């Protein structure tokens, strides 16, 4: 299927989508809450009636692929890489797949920059993750390296403060442990959230020292 035909198919489907939304304005209000992986950037929500796949085997592959992709985008934002992988399941040729992606980008359904910013925000502010963990998430979602670097570059250089905030919240539950055990466990928890080895140990020590119960922050047995 030529790329132009795929693009026309995408535009036509998106046009029908907007007509459905005008006829049934309640769809947007019924949209699910944004998930923590960054769906809240989405400019509109897709009607279930529009994206329900046609069981007719005569339906063109590009149209079925497009409907499936729109349905996925209703509940979770996707990177271009993820969207492209989904289209490959429908065995579209490169031109047809790129035509669908270009149309969805034009209407704001695909935006790697916006998605990267949302993932950085979710990782840093909601999950208390360090840069390393956030960078791994961006790579796993298929965000291009330059886009990921730009999003991470906007993140304040306060890994220690964020690590310390997390460590403080956990140190209180470790007052019954000896210091070495508490330090090891707390450092491990910080490392799993993407904070480097030395930074994790520093934050863990500071949090334990600040924890009520004495200068060590733990009770010795």
Chain segment 133-156, per-residue pLDDT in tens: 899 999 999 999 999 999 998 887
At residue 135, the pLDDT reads: 92
Taking CA atoms, 4 is separated from 1, 9, 47, 70, 111, in Å, by: 8, 9, 25, 19, 21
| Cα–Cα distance, 92 to 115 (Å, whole number) | 25
Q: What pLDDT, on a 0 to 100 scale, did the predictor assign at position 44?
A: 42
**pLDDT < 50 positions in the chain:** 1-4, 6-7, 16-34, 36, 39-58, 214-221
CB 4 within 8 A of CB 34: no
- For residue 169, the model assigns a pLDDT of 84
* Residue 27 pLDDT: 43
pLDDT at 112: 97
How many Å apart are CA 143 and CA 131, to the nearest integer? 15
Predicted local confidence at residue 218, as pLDDT: 42
What pLDDT does 43 receive? 44
- Please report the DSSP string for 158-196 in residue order: -HHHHHHHHHHHHHGGGTTS-HHHHHHHHHHHHHHTT--
Of residues 140, 36, 32, 122, the one with CA closest to residue 79:
140
Give me the pLDDT at residue 148, please: 95
**Confidence (pLDDT) at 15:** 54
94, two tokens? 């490169």
Q: What is the pLDDT of residue 162?
A: 82
Domain boundaries, the chain: 3-110, 113-153, 159-210
């Amino acid at each position: 299927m030529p790329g132009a035909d795929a693009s026309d198919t995408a535009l036509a489907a998106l046009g029908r989508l907007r007509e459905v939304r005008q006829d049934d304005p309640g769809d947007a209000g019924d949209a699910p809450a944004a998930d923590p992986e960054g769906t809240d950037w989405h400019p509109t929500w897709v009607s279930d009636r529009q994206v329900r796949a046609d069981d007719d085997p005569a339906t063109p592959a590009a149209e079925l692929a497009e409907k499936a992709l729109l349905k996925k985008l209703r509940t979770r934002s996707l990177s271009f890489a993820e969207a492209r992988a989904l289209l490959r399941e429908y065995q579209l040729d490169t031109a047809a797949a790129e035509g669908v992606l270009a149309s969805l980008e034009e209407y704001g359904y695909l935006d790697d920059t916006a998605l990267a910013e949302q993932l950085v925000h979710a990782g840093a502010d909601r999950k208390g993750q360090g840069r390393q963990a956030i960078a791994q998430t961006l790579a796993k979602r298929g965000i291009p390296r330059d886009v990921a670097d730009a999003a991470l570059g906007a993140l304040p250089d306060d890994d220690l403060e964020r690590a310390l905030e997390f460590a403080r919240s956990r140190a209180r539950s470790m007052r019954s442990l000896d210091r070495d055990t508490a330090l090891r466990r707390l450092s491990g928890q910080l490392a799993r959230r993407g904070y480097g080895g030395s930074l994790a140990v520093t934050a863990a020590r500071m949090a334990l020292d600040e924890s009520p119960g004495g200068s060590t922050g733990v009770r010795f047995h």
